[in-house]
């Protein structure tokens, strides 16, 4: 994969994309938005201190490599 082509997501952009997902009126639209943006709403995003671009937990399998 070309990691240099990856775009850094900002907190504001993630919030905007999550809000679009939350505002979708159908499950089909939510699936389309998630496929396009890779983001969906989470109740954690309602916490003022939660930043999903920096506060991502490491899953158990990948934790073994740290």
Give a yes or no: residue 30 inside a domain: yes
Per-residue pLDDT, 66: 60
Summarised one tens digit per residue, pLDDT across range 30-63 is 999 999 999 999 998 889 898 988 887 777 776 7
Give a yes or no: residue 8 inside a domain: yes
Residue 18's domain comprises 3-48
Sign of CA dihedral 20, 18, 24, 46: negative
Alpha-carbon distance of 25 to 46, in angstroms, equals 20
Per-residue pLDDT, 1: 62
Confirm if 41 and 16 have CB atoms less than 8 A apart: no
Summarised one tens digit per residue, pLDDT across range 3-38 is 788 888 899 999 999 999 999 999 999 999 999 999
Give a yes or no: residue 57 inside a domain: no
Total of domains in the chain: 1
pTM of the model: 0.73
């Amino acid at each position: 994969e070309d990691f240099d082509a990856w775009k850094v997501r900002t907190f504001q952009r993630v919030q905007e994309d999550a809000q679009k997902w939350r505002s979708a009126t159908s499950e089909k639209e939510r699936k389309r938005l998630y496929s396009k943006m890779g983001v969906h709403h989470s109740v954690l995003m309602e916490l003022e201190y939660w930043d999903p671009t920096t506060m991502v937990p490491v899953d158990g399998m990948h934790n073994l490599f740290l």
